[in-house]
Amino acid sequence: MRFIISRFVQYVLVVFCGITAVFFIPRLTGQDPVLEIIAQIQAQGASLDPTAVQSLMETLKELYGLKGSLLQQYFTMWRRVFTLDFGPSLFQFPTPVAQLLRIYLPWTIGLFVTSTILSWVLGNIIGGFAGYFSGKPWSRILDAIVMVIRPIPQYIFGVVLLILFAYLWPIFPVRGPSIGRGMIINLSFILAILRASFLPALTLVILGGAVWFQQMKLLVQNVKREDFVEYARIGGVKGWRIVFRYVLKNAMLPQVTQLALALGQVFSGVLIVEMIFSYPGIGLLLYRGVTRGDYNLVMGITVLSILTVATATFLLDLFYPLLDPRIRHR
């Protein structure tokens, strides 16, 4: 019980500090969302009478909820957090932040969760075997290939895939025009989504998979040298049983933790991949929010992110003893 209470207090503190930081940090950037809108209108050459702009600025402040002291805005923010109503997006006014999240989040979850799990599964399986059979030539060749792939930045890798499969051998679109549409479940829609998501997913799976591969390979190489594996071998336990029950199972534990934390990053999105493939995700939305000083949007996305990561970590802390008897024992 003490364990649960201490973890819960830690959880509440993390959420409180995180959300407070999220409130203040955008306000310290020196950007004013009202001026950003005015500048956007002016930069494109739109003509606004000078005398009109002052009243427009007042109106926008009123509409954006930026009137009142910082303390008043802070308390308003907590009310919004508890009701999960983050108000309107300032840059995409008057669209509510909640509506934007509803539109974009499923796309990010679809791409990010699928590719993260896929890369995790593939990376761990292949990495596990490569680690166990690390002396074999195929393992060394695979390791060398992964060593080359892993440091390639997402931007470069994505563009290379685009050039290869959307230009030189054009079997995929530069981007799917239907991908941003609302979710309509029919075959042609699903096919279009799959097709348009293939290259972004491939980028994430290969680059992500390379990381999981290397981690798992190292873990397995260490675990297979442990005494209990040696005892099992001497004791006559069969080869595959040693691989799955003794080595891989133990090497998986830190990878499970990593997976939970990686999935928690869904709200940060996959900005670079979204940009290259014009994919309608939360990463681009957050980027726009940050560059335009859209406090409400940044707030909405990061609060959800904080809540998700903190909750995932909290739950993981609670469930980990079930996975690892050593922690239960402690």
Partner 1 sequence: MLKRRKWFLGVLVVFVMFCGSLAFAQLPGGVPRNETLIVDQLTGRVGTPSNFNLWAGWRWQDRGLQQLVCEPLWTVDYATGEIIPGLAAEMPIYNEDFTKMTIKLRQGVSWSDGVPFTADDVVYTIDLHVKNSELLYHGPMAEFVDKVYKTDDFTVVVELKKPNSRFHTNFLDRWGCLRIMPKHVFEKVEDPIAFEFNPPVGCGPYKLKDYDPAGFWTLWERREDWEKTPTGMLYGEPKPKYVLFEAFETEEAKILAQLRHELDMAQYAPEGLRVVLEKSNTVRAWRKNWPWVVNIDPCITGIMFNNMVEPYNIKDVRWALVLAINIVDYMAIAFDYMAPVSPIHLPPVPAYVELFFKPMEEWLKNFELDIGDGQKFKPYDPDVPFKLAQAAKERGYPVPEDPEAIRAIFGIGWWKYAPEVAEKLLKKHGFTKGADGKWYLPNGNPWKITIVADTNPAHHHYRNAMAAAEQWRKFGIDATVNATEAFNTLVLMGQFEVATQWPAAEPWGVGVDLSRTFDVWSSSLLTPIGQAVTLGPGGAARWSDPRLDELLKKMETTNPFTEVEATRLLGLEALKIVVEEMPTIPTYGYCGAVAWDEYYWTNYPGAENPYSQPYQHWPNFKYMLPFLKAKH
Binding pattern to partner 1, positions 10-29, x when CB under 8 A? Answer: -------------------x
Cα angle for residues 202, 114, 265 (degrees, 5° grid):
100
For residue 255, give every residue at least 6 positions away whose Cβ sits within 8 Å of its Cβ, in sequence order, or none: 120, 124, 212, 215, 216, 219
Cβ proximity to partner 1, 74 vs 165, nearer residue: 165
> Distances in Å between the alpha carbon of 195 and those of 178, 191, 204, 266?
10, 6, 15, 22
Contact status: 325 vs partner 1 (CB under 8 A): no
Rounded CA gap, 78 and 75, in Å?
A: 5
Distance separating the N- and C-terminal Cα atoms of the chain: 13
We find the least distance from the C-beta atom of residue 186 to partner 1, in angstroms, to be 14
Residue choice 14, 56, 218, 232 for contact with partner 1 (CB under 8 A): 56
Cβ proximity to partner 1, 48 vs 84, nearer residue: 48
DSSP letters spanning 281-330 = -HHHHHHHHHHTT-HHHHHHHHHHHHHHHHHHHHHHHHHHHHH-HHHHH-
Binding pattern to partner 1, positions 224-263, x when CB under 8 A? Answer: ----------------------------------------
Binding pattern to partner 1, positions 64-103, x when CB under 8 A? Answer: -------------------------x-xxxxx-------x
Residues that bind partner 1 (CB under 8 A): 29-32, 35-57, 59, 63, 89, 91-95, 103-104, 107, 159, 162-163, 166-167, 170-182, 191-192, 195, 274-278, 280, 284, 288, 290-291, 293
